[in-house]
A and B are shown apart, each in its own frame.
Chain A
Amino acid sequence: MLDAWVAGVEGLLQVRELTFLSLGMGIGLIFGALPGLGGATALALLMPLTYGLEPFTAVALAGGVMGAVPMGGSLTAILLNAPGSAPNAATCLDGYPLAQQGKAGYAIGAAATANSLGGIIGTVSVLAVLPMAKQLVLLFGPPEFFLLSILALVTVAGSLSGRMLRGLLTGGIGLMIATVGYDSVTGTTRFAGGIEYLWDGVHLVPALIGLFAVAEMINLSVTGGTVSKDLRAVKITSMMSGVKATFQHWRTVLRGSIIGTLVGAIPGEGGTVAAFLSYSMTMQASDDPESFGKGNIQGVIAPEAAINAKDGSALIPTIAFGIPSGAEMAVFLGILVLHGMQPGPLMLAQNQNEIYGLVWALTGSCILASIIGIVLARPLGLITLVDSRIFVPIIIAVAMTGSYAVDRSIENPILTLAFGILGYVMIRYDYPRLTIVIALVLGATAERNFHQSMMIGDGSWWIFTSRWMCLGLIAAIVLFLVLPPLRARLFPPRRGTGASAGKA
């Protein structure tokens, strides 16, 4: 195991890997700072760029993005009261009041330090748990893999804060799309409608670029305007006092990191849950709860530590079971598949270098992004003043060029446009896109394992109940189908309180 850790570090400390890690980090900071974009959009846009890269380099680039997005989001949350992504909304509660009091630097210093410490604690948890998860490989055969794919869909649909039925429906549509093209088991080309381009199936990368980047751009194009109108809001003061304050409140950091780690490991739970849970528990534990919401530095530290700790532990279900914790991880799954890695128990055995490389990339990125975030706080805050009418065409041009570049096919941008419109319609009618992505990523594997299971069982469905692991997975599927409706009845959710996963 130690060898894999060292190999991961060594692999990352190459000029090429460090360059792409830094590139990802820079992009992550910018996209994190822009509300509505975030990590999923950044990763979707970068997917074509990773195509020509070695898997390890691609993972370093993705790790750079994912590690830096939370810091970008914190900056605009504190400076402009405009969280880059949903989890950073918790940071606004005390971060923005601090900025209004002229203590923006204090808040940013604390957020950056809490970010780094949370990231380190999250990494330690991943390094401890991944070797144990590896033992699961031996327990899985085709029936278990098939049931695991179903569990992934059901779990994520169930976590969509009151939209389970819609999540399941879009998951089903995603599975329908995933069956388009050549079926390797039966040798049949299905649902291609005579279009040669579709013989290879619906190309994943152009579809994801459409569902996230283009759909968000259409949405932004419709809503228009800028994120912030007030240049004066972007002012920074002393930051080192914030760094010191974080170490003084080490209990808050530890509490937030533990909450983030635990919530992050639950499939489908987004960073929003971790951030707000950490915030509310810190407030409850405080001697001065009335000061929260008025500029208490612990109100910044608690969610920030939780958000980055969550990012590390979210890798556990994503890599070990192919169950992403949110939209960002779902797109990341797409990158893994693009590079020939199949997320799930087997990946733990076959791609150790990439996995540990990713873990270190995430950690390095979140620490470096925090430092860069402190240095570049003001210019990053200014990004939100750019008019959407300028950056929407630019992002669309990059998205379409990237889509074409995946395999130099002019049909790709057309597919991207189609999925962009589909994604926008889903936003408009409040249908989640997360389950459709999971279905696209896992669909082919699920079908292959279904066929293999049926062959093993001589065409009998009882094969899915023949082993205790299968029974456990079926019980989990039933549980995740029943629990959300029960929870919805007992604790009715309000509109606008969805977790980050639910927003995608």
Chain B
Amino acid sequence: MARVFGTEITDYLPATAATTVAAVYLGAAYQYSPEARATPLLIGWTVVALAMLDIASRTQTGLGRRLAGWLNPVTTRPRHGEGPAGYPIGRQIVAMIWIAGFVTGFALIGATYAIPLYVFAATRWRGGRPYLVCLISAAGTLAGIWFLFGWLLRLELYPGLLFGGG
């Protein structure tokens, strides 16, 4: 892994992302009237300053070590195999894709179909559980959700864009 000022380049990612977002935010803020942009400018420039400090505190330089010592003394990178950082990136992305897939299904075919399908698929193909357990989990989840939202709170479960949902 490439290093900049003695620190792995990925360690700078969050603060760099924050700086980028703040820059875009400031760019948009300057389009508004002076009254409407007063608070956003204050916030945006503060975030830029804090992100810069965070970036500086991550460097293995004298300044970086001093800043980290004063402001972020326990924020060292987790040791290998410790915490989420110790897991393969692929596994982390797959975990998110499963949920994103469910949200897509929820939006397209609605809660009544997407929930049992997702719970069954996730417990069976991601969890490797027996078919019966997966079926019971899927049916139980849908029944529980229907009881809580549909029956108790009298809320209609989302029908899905393909079935008339708005």
Residues of A within 8 A of B (CB): 49, 52, 161-166, 168-169, 172-173, 175-176, 179, 183, 185-186, 188, 190-191, 214, 217-219, 221-223, 387, 389-390, 392-394, 396-398, 400-402, 404-405, 408, 410, 413-414, 416-417, 420-421, 424-431, 447, 450-451, 454, 485, 488-489, 492-495, 497-498
Tally chain B residues at the interface, Cβ within 8 Å.
77
The answer for the CA separation of A394 and B143 in the assembled complex, in Å, is 11
The answer for the CA separation of A156 and B2 in the assembled complex, in Å, is 34
Interface mask (B91-103 → A, CB under 8 Å = 1, otherwise 0):
1100110111011
Partner of A430, one of B28, B57, B75: B75
Contacts A389-B127, A414-B107, A488-B73 known; A176 to B122 CB distance under 8 Å?
no
- Cross-chain contact A176 with B103 (CB below 8 angstroms): no
- Cross-chain contact A495 with B74 (CB below 8 angstroms): yes
The answer for the CA separation of A427 and B69 in the assembled complex, in Å, is 21
Q: Which residues of chain A are near B157, meaning CB under 8 Å?
A: 401
- Cross-chain contact B47 with A169 (CB below 8 angstroms): yes
Which residue of B has the minimal Cβ distance to A391? Answer: B137
Of B83, B99, B154, which is in contact with the most chain A CB atoms at under 10 Å from its CB? Answer: B99
User: Is B63 close to A, CB under 8 A?
Assistant: no
- Cross-chain contact A404 with B129 (CB below 8 angstroms): no
Contacts A176-B44, A447-B39 known; A163 to B75 CB distance under 8 Å?
yes
Q: How many A-B residue pairs have CB under 8 A?
A: 205
The answer for the CA separation of A90 and B128 in the assembled complex, in Å, is 36
Contacts A400-B103, A413-B103 known; A176 to B85 CB distance under 8 Å?
no
CB distance from B16 to the nearest CB of A (A): 12
- Cross-chain contact B99 with A218 (CB below 8 angstroms): yes
The answer for the CA separation of A413 and B157 in the assembled complex, in Å, is 13
- Cross-chain contact B102 with A190 (CB below 8 angstroms): no
- Cross-chain contact B18 with A191 (CB below 8 angstroms): no
User: Is B72 close to A, CB under 8 A?
Assistant: yes
The answer for the CA separation of A495 and B76 in the assembled complex, in Å, is 8
Interface mask (B65-87 → A, CB under 8 Å = 1, otherwise 0):
00101111111101000011101
Which residue of A has the minimal Cβ distance to B133? Answer: A390
User: Is B162 close to A, CB under 8 A?
Assistant: no
- Cross-chain contact A169 with B145 (CB below 8 angstroms): no
The answer for the CA separation of A222 and B89 in the assembled complex, in Å, is 10
- Cross-chain contact A417 with B84 (CB below 8 angstroms): no
CB distance from B106 to the nearest CB of A (A): 6
Contacts A222-B95, A389-B126, A393-B123 known; A164 to B145 CB distance under 8 Å?
no
Of B22, B36, B133, B137, which is in contact with the most chain A CB atoms at under 10 Å from its CB? Answer: B36
The answer for the CA separation of A493 and B72 in the assembled complex, in Å, is 10
User: Is B38 close to A, CB under 8 A?
Assistant: yes
- Cross-chain contact B21 with A390 (CB below 8 angstroms): no
- Cross-chain contact A52 with B155 (CB below 8 angstroms): yes
Partner of B145, one of A392, A398, A410: A398
User: Is B7 close to A, CB under 8 A?
Assistant: no
Q: Identify the 3 closest CB pairs spanning chains A and B, nearest first.
A: A389-B127, A162-B74, A393-B122
The answer for the CA separation of A417 and B118 in the assembled complex, in Å, is 15
The answer for the CA separation of A447 and B161 in the assembled complex, in Å, is 37
User: Is B148 close to A, CB under 8 A?
Assistant: yes
- Cross-chain contact B72 with A165 (CB below 8 angstroms): yes
- Cross-chain contact A165 with B50 (CB below 8 angstroms): yes
CB distance from B162 to the nearest CB of A (A): 12
Contacts A166-B54, A169-B54, A186-B35 known; A222 to B84 CB distance under 8 Å?
yes
- Cross-chain contact B18 with A405 (CB below 8 angstroms): no
User: Is B43 close to A, CB under 8 A?
Assistant: yes
- Cross-chain contact A485 with B70 (CB below 8 angstroms): yes
Q: Which residues of chain A are near B84, meaning CB under 8 Å?
A: 219, 222-223, 424, 427-428
Partner of A421, one of B69, B72, B96, B127: B96
CB distance from A497 to the nearest CB of B (A): 8
The answer for the CA separation of A393 and B51 in the assembled complex, in Å, is 35
Which residue of A has the minimal Cβ distance to B148? Answer: A49
Contacts A52-B155, A190-B32, A389-B123 known; A173 to B21 CB distance under 8 Å?
yes
- Cross-chain contact B106 with A186 (CB below 8 angstroms): no
Which residue of A has the minimal Cβ distance to B152? Answer: A49
Q: Which residues of chain A are near B32, meaning CB under 8 Å?
A: 186, 188, 190
- Cross-chain contact A488 with B69 (CB below 8 angstroms): yes
- Cross-chain contact A222 with B70 (CB below 8 angstroms): no
Q: Which residues of chain B are near A428, meaning CB under 8 Å?
A: 83-85, 92
Partner of A175, one of B35, B43, B158: B43
Q: Which residues of chain A are near B44, meaning CB under 8 Å?
A: 176
Contacts A188-B33, A223-B84, A400-B106 known; A488 to B70 CB distance under 8 Å?
yes
The answer for the CA separation of A164 and B67 in the assembled complex, in Å, is 11
Contacts A162-B72, A168-B50, A404-B111 known; A430 to B78 CB distance under 8 Å?
yes
